[in-house]
């Protein structure tokens, strides 16, 4: 079978070769012609207009100038090496008093040349161009008297506007047209070639790196490569969406989209191409996720748990506070899942302090009431211990036995726990990764709850699912306190049912967030002393553990010394917790703070989750500009848990980037974690969000953006739902093309719901 041009090795593309091919592989992951044409421009430069020289300003973006070369000068380390101009040898037009001509191209030693200065003019003024590379070739091309199109970014040097390393094209003839893109496409299709002329209108700008530029793969070279690749591949490009679907959604054909995303005929063609390609990515992403969900919900039998049980009722009646409306709604959703006869696969999202632990306890008691066991797995010992402490308190009226299993559990203790799980004596087990060890066996595990699930690998969770001893998979409840934007949740967890606790329990006071820089430190220390005098406790969080030469940020070691000096013992006590300590050290210091024996806890973001000290009323975050919005929000959630007014102080350096300042201002203006998560994704992109992903998105998105394309995602998801409602297995003739596309490796998405 003859190979498609799309599969051709990139080194065989004209202008590439083995060296550039290796660069493209390493820098952009491009191996084939097909990979290259799926590398899309991230913006476009308008090449349709010519800017008069007198109107050029240094704050302009890229501009295009049509001008005649007046003079050119070559400089070495000692000064001018050669110069000539349009008027002959006796007149200086360059404006710097250089000699008019001091040599010809034939006798110039270009190895001694450091830069070239070129003066050009149009009817409105003169402009200086500067070249540091490719000088010999440019010197031969830019002869005085000739006219060219120059394209580049204006800058200022010594008070004068210039352009460094502009792109240079021959000025087109008056009759020249953009013939390749101006011709009408044949009826019913698109012309299968791309022709470029010098009279470009919109030029794509592609992702690049310094190594690519140094290897000769400039923006102009990339455009030429895309032209060659498209001409080779367009005849082989096969449509991925059925004709009926294209008509229904008003989408352009794939060849048209690929041609116009790289070389737009006009603005309207570009917009239609862009929409088609974004829609395709988001549609197939949702179709693959939802197909798993549809098949799973119809075929996967689950443990039926029709009762609530006595333990649930006793716990509920003994609660020291009423559940919020959101908690009641979520418990109803969970209860309906557990009695349906299908396996529950539900994601529970809840902001910091929204009461997810209480929901987890009541869910576990439903399993207990139906004769099954439940396990709750947490990512850290600190969080597991915190859960165990709170859950034990809630379970006191029920008589249900709960145990804690972590890496620190002693051998005798482990032996007793293993026995209790196997004979069913232990109803609820709380633990860390220790729960998935091979020697941990259950009598009848019916429910698995995973907290902060993004911190566990797929294989780790799969081991837990397989521990069910009753022949059917346990119900699954995945919890996260990291607010996830709706578009990201639909993508990462598109095959799970989602519940959101969007209401805080009564009595939770808002946390006042304050921004302060280093010059306010004396005032901060006075405020901390005042709070301690009132009987409060204080967190101080640092982003680093050890000094970093590259980063001028406060670090834990220096910070601890500074705090110890400002708050000496006696009367003050300061504890320290960080990731490099042993579990025993961490537990000792954390317990000292939780019990009130320490006034201040100096820590890294290890305390981001799981620390619940109601008496702590102040959170000081050092070098707050180092943290993302979601992480800052998580840290802020460690205070405000008691009845006293609480504060979060964001300490930063004096000089902040525009993005950092915006992030700090957002933190000071809102406590809504979902608002912050949406902003975080817009600012940083979905792949960078703290704590929302295991290893990036399920499939790579080359052009669509979850931060910006939420409306397209909603339409794509609705389309996928409608198709699967009618044809869950995509076996109808009209959907065979969709099924064929989903079988490709790139859609081999891990099943985030069952993980088994």
pLDDT at 193 over 90: no
Residue 168 — pLDDT band, cuts 50, 70, 90?
confident
Write the CA distances from 254 to 233, 236, 272, 340, 730, integer angstroms: 12, 11, 11, 43, 21
Predicted TM-score of the model (pTM): 0.61
* CATH number for domain 511-670, candidates 1.20.120.640, 3.40.50.300, 3.50.50.60, 3.40.50.170: 3.40.50.300
Euclidean distance between CA atoms 81 and 76, whole angstroms: 6
Judged against a pLDDT cut of 90, whether residue 567 lies above it is answered with yes
Asked if the domains at 238-509+710-749 and 511-670 fall in one CATH topology, the answer is yes
**Burial class of residue 505, CB neighbours in 10 A (0-12, 13-18, 19+):** middle
The continuous run of DSSP H or E covering 119 comes out as strand 115-122
Question: What interhelical angle do 673-684 and 629-636 show, nearest 10?
Answer: 150
Given the candidates 3.40.950.10, 3.40.50.300, 3.30.450.20, 3.40.50.150, the CATH classification of the domain at 238-509+710-749 is 3.40.50.300
Mean pLDDT of the chain: 83
Place of tokens 């791309």: 194
Give the pLDDT score at 188. 36
Instruction: Look at residue 543 and tell me whether its pLDDT is greater than 90.
Output: no
> Before 571, cis peptide (omega within 30)?
yes
Contact criterion met (CB below 8 Å) for 716 and 286: yes
Per-residue CA distances from 518 to 546, 566, 655, 681 (Å): 20, 15, 11, 29
Q: Please list, in sequence order, all residues whose beta carbon lies within 8 angstroms of the beta carbon of residue 321, skipping any fewer than 6 positions away.
A: 505, 506, 507
Residue 659 to residue 624: CA distance in whole angstroms? 12
Q: What is the DSSP letter of 342?
A: B
**CATH architecture of the domain covering 53-170:** Beta Barrel (2.40)
Over residues 373-406, the pLDDT tens digits come to: 999 998 888 788 888 988 999 999 999 999 999 9
Residue 287 · residue 333 · CB < 8 Å: no
462-480 pLDDT per residue, tens: 676 677 766 788 898 988 8
Q: At what angle do helices 356-369 and 310-318 cross, to 10 degrees?
A: 150
- 393: part of which helix (H) or strand (E)? helix 381-395
Alpha-carbon distances of 455 from 271, 279, 452, rounded to whole Å: 39, 31, 6
Is the pLDDT higher at 487 or at 409?
409
Question: Would you state the pLDDT for residue 586?
Answer: 84
Give the pLDDT of residue 464: 67
Which position has the higher pLDDT, 250 or 554?
250
What mean pLDDT comes out for the span 479-503?
Answer: 74
289 vs 593: which has the higher pLDDT:
593
Per domain, the residue ranges of the chain are 53-170, 238-509+710-749, 511-670
Residue 105 has pLDDT above 60, yes or no: no
755 pLDDT higher than 80: no
Mean pLDDT confidence for 332-336: 95
Residue 747's alpha-carbon distances to 155, 281, 685, 700, 741, in angstroms, are 46, 10, 21, 9, 8
pLDDT band at 494 (very low <50, low <70, confident <90, very high): low
- Give the length of the chain: 756
């Amino acid at each position: 079978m003859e190979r498609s041009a799309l599969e051709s090795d990139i080194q065989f593309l004209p202008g590439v070769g083995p060296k550039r091919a290796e660069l493209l592989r390493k820098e952009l992951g491009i191996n084939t012609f097909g990979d290259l044409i799926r590398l899309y421009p991230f913006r476009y430069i308008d090449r349709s207009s010519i800017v008069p020289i007198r109107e050029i300003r240094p704050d302009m973006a890229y501009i295009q100038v049509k001008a005649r070369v007046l003079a050119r000068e070559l400089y070495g380390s000692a000064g001018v090496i050669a110069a000539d101009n349009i008027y002959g040898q006796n007149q200086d037009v360059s404006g710097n008093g250089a000699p008019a001509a001091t040599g010809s191209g034939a006798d110039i030693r270009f190895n001694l040349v450091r830069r070239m200065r070129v003066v050009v003019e149009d009817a409105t003024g003169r402009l200086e161009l500067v070249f540091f590379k490719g000088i010999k070739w440019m010197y031969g091309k830019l002869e005085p008297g000739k006219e060219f199109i120059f394209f580049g970014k204006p800058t200022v040097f010594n008070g004068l506007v210039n352009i460094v390393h502009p792109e240079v094209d021959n000025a087109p003839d008056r009759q020249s047209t953009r013939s390749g893109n101006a011709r009408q496409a044949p009826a019913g299709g698109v012309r299968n070639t791309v022709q470029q002329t010098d009279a470009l209108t919109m030029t794509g700008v592609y992702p690049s790196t310094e190594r690519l530029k140094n290897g000769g793969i400039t923006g102009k070279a990339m455009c030429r490569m895309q032209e060659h690749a498209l001409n080779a591949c367009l005849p082989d490009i096969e449509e991925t969406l059925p004709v009926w679907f294209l008509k229904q959604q008003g989408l352009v054909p794939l060849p048209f989209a690929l041609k116009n995303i790289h070389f737009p005929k006009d603005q309207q063609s570009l917009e239609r191409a862009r929409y088609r390609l974004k829609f395709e990515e988001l549609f197939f992403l949702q179709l693959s996720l939802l197909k798993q969900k549809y098949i799973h919900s119809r075929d996967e039998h689950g443990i039926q748990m029709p009762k609530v049980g006595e333990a649930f009722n006793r716990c509920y009646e003994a609660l020291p506070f009423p559940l919020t409306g959101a908690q009641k709604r979520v418990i109803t959703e969970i209860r309906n899942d557990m009695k349906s006869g299908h396996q529950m696969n539900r994601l529970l999202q809840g902001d910091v302090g929204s009461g997810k632990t209480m929901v987890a306890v009541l869910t576990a008691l439903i399993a207990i009431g139906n004769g099954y066991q439940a396990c709750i797995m947490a990512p850290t010992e600190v969080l597991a211990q915190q859960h165990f402490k709170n859950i034990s308190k809630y379970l006191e009226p029920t008589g249900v036995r709960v145990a804690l299993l972590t890496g620190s559990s002693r051998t005798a203790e482990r032996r007793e726990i293993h026995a209790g799980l196997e004979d069913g004596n232990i109803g609820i087990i709380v633990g860390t990764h220790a729960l998935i060890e091979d020697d941990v066996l259950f009598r009848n595990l019916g429910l698995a709850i995973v907290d902060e699930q993004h911190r566990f690998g797929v294989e780790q969770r799969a081991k837990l699912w397989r521990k069910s001893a009753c022949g059917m998979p346990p119900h699954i409840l995945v919890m996260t306190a990291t607010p996830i934007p709706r578009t990201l949740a639909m993508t990462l967890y598109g095959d799970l049912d989602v519940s959101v606790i969007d209401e805080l329990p009564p009595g939770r006071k808002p946390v006042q967030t304050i921004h302060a820089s280093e010059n306010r430190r004396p005032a901060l220390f006075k405020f901390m002393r005042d709070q301690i005098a009132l009987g409060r406790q204080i967190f101080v969080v640092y982003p680093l553990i050890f000094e970093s030469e590259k980063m001028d940020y406060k670090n834990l070691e220096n910070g601890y010394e500074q705090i110890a000096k400002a708050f000496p013992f006696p009367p003050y006590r300061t504890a320290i917790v960080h990731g490099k300590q042993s579990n025993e050290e961490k537990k000792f210091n954390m317990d000292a703070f939780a019990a009130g024996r320490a006034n201040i806890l100096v820590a890294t973001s290890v305390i981001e989750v799981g620390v619940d000290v109601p008496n702590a009323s102040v959170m000081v975050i050092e070098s707050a500009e180092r943290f993302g919005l979601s992480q800052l929000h998580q840290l802020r959630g460690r205070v405000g848990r008691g009845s006293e007014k609480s504060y979060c102080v964001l300490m930063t350096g004096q000089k902040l980037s525009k993005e950092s300042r915006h992030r700090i201002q957002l933190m000071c203006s809102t406590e809504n974690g979902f608002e912050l998560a949406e902003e975080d994704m817009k600012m940083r992109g979905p792949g960078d969000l703290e704590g929302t992903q295991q290893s990036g998105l399920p499939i790579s998105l080359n052009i669509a953006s979850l931060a910006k394309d939420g409306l397209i995602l909603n339409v794509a998801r609705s389309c996928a739902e409608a198709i699967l409602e009618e044809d869950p297995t995509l076996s109808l003739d009209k959907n065979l093309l969709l099924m064929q596309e989903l079988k490709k490796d790139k859609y081999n998405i891990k099943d985030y719901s069952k993980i088994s």
